[in-house]
Amino acid sequence: MTRADGTRTGGTRLGEDLADDLDVVVAQSITVAKDIKALTLQSADGAPLPAWQPGAHVDVILPSGAVRQYSLCGDPEDNHSWRIAVLREAIGRGRGGSEYIHTDVHTGNELRVGLPRNNFELVDAPAFVFVAGGIGITPILPMIADAQRRGVPWRLVYGGRSAETMAFRDELEVYGPKVAIYTDDGDGPIDLERELTGLADGTAVYCCGPAGLLEAIERLHKDGVVASLHTERFAGGNASSADDHEFEVVLARQGKSFTIKPGESILGTLESNGIDALSSCHQGMCGRCEVDVLDGIPDHRDSILTLEERATNEFMLICVSRCVGDRLVIDL
């Protein structure tokens, strides 16, 4: 997931250890669109839930021990309920988490979740344009509610394959013309250039959705059509490719070094050698394994860092990213 404009102000620093996980109960499980299930979660002991801000997500720990990240899409001012929505991925395309939630998680079940973390913080701006594709609407909903509550001008451009696949359309109807809906089977893809050309100075654009949408809006950012762009991705990075080469990673604080072979990740190599490193998703999506880079140039393969952040080469996610050269020194 990608934060805003390369800034790192506020919130919890990526990679920082967090408090203990929570036991929650599924207070409600409903279908909100084709293949999308929404879960309302409440504390198992009835206590208030920790506070969160728009853009935050939580880890859901599956019985297998696997961890999946889902955006909080309810009301941040409700400290007794959290809401997440899960898209059921096609068999063979996902990693099994969505299938488990759709098949085996029902009202009354208990789940183990992590505390909210925010890599997609809502900045102060004089106006907002939100762009969502498919399940990418989830982190956007609380942002809309926040802007509406504060009286900040905003509008939403929301696209999906068809009307039946687009979650929470009923909740968005109350906003009337502030919401523009695009369906692939009726309108075609979102006309980003039309929707985003000529924005007022200072307008912050927030976008979440599939890779094609993110790539298209990032091109507009590079071309100067969108000045302030904040994105979040729901696709993980890839720790290996056919062109990978062997390199050395040095742990500066521990005085140890390891050889990272093709097909292996830095995190995996460290773990197999008994090195304790923070991690969660193992896909470059959550940011928990972020470390500072002291020397060398990372080969960034995550879905969190912006182009500006990558260019600094000051930090990296060791679960998927590798080394451009032959040696990396990291702050571990």
Write the CATH number for 36. 2.40.30.10
Q: 225-283, pLDDT tens digit by residue?
A: 999 999 987 655 566 666 789 999 999 999 999 999 998 999 999 989 999 888 777 77
Are residue 105 and residue 133 in the same domain, yes or no? no
In a domain, 263, yes or no: yes
| For residues 193-222, average pLDDT | 94
**Of the residues 179, 205, 233, which one is the last residue of a structural domain?**
233
Res 20 pLDDT > 90: no
And the tokens for 183? 């369906």
b/e burial code for range 247-280 (CB count within 10 A of at least 16 → b): bebbbeeeeeebebeeebbbbbbbeeeeeebbbb
Are residue 301 and residue 252 in the same domain, yes or no? yes
In this prediction, residue 14 has a pLDDT band, given cuts at 50, 70 and 90, of: very low
Q: 69-89, pLDDT tens digit by residue?
A: 899 999 999 999 999 999 998
HSE of 54, CA atoms in CB hemisphere, 13 A:
18
> What pLDDT is attached to residue 167?
98
In a domain, 242, yes or no: no
> What pLDDT is attached to residue 238?
60
| For residues 217-223, average pLDDT | 93
Which is nearest to 3 in space by CA: 237, 227, 207?
Answer: 207
> What pLDDT is attached to residue 263?
87
> What pLDDT is attached to residue 302?
84
Query: What are the phi and psi torsion angles at 71 (to 5°)?
Result: -70, 145
In a domain, 294, yes or no: yes
**Maximum distance among all Cα pairs of the chain, rounded to whole angstroms:** 60
In this prediction, residue 8 has a pLDDT band, given cuts at 50, 70 and 90, of: very low
Round to whole Å and give the CA distance between 202 and 127.
7
Are residue 205 and residue 275 in the same domain, yes or no? no
In a domain, 31, yes or no: yes
Are residue 136 and residue 222 in the same domain, yes or no? yes
> What pLDDT is attached to residue 242?
67
pTM of structure: 0.75
> What pLDDT is attached to residue 310?
85
| For residues 47-63, average pLDDT | 94
In a domain, 11, yes or no: no
Round to whole Å and give the CA distance between 86 and 60.
11
**Of the residues 70, 86, 117, which one is the last residue of a structural domain?**
117
Question: How many structural domains comprise the chain?
Answer: 3
**Of the residues 204, 233, 262, which one is the last residue of a structural domain?**
233
In this prediction, residue 94 has a pLDDT band, given cuts at 50, 70 and 90, of: low
Res 306 pLDDT > 60: yes
In a domain, 90, yes or no: yes
In a domain, 94, yes or no: yes
In a domain, 206, yes or no: yes
Residue 223 is part of a domain; what is its CATH number? 3.40.50.80
> What pLDDT is attached to residue 282?
77
Are residue 157 and residue 212 in the same domain, yes or no? yes
Residue 315 is part of a domain; what is its CATH number? 3.10.20.30
In this prediction, residue 5 has a pLDDT band, given cuts at 50, 70 and 90, of: very low
| For residues 197-223, average pLDDT | 94
Are residue 133 and residue 218 in the same domain, yes or no? yes
**Type of residue found at 174:** V
Are residue 135 and residue 228 in the same domain, yes or no? yes
Are residue 325 and residue 261 in the same domain, yes or no? yes
Of 25-39, 42-56, 148-162, 287-301, the least confident:
287-301
Round to whole Å and give the CA distance between 60 and 66.
8
Query: Strand 128-133 relative to strand 82-87: parallel, antiparallel, unpaired?
Result: unpaired
Res 44 pLDDT > 80: yes
Range of the domain at 76: 22-117
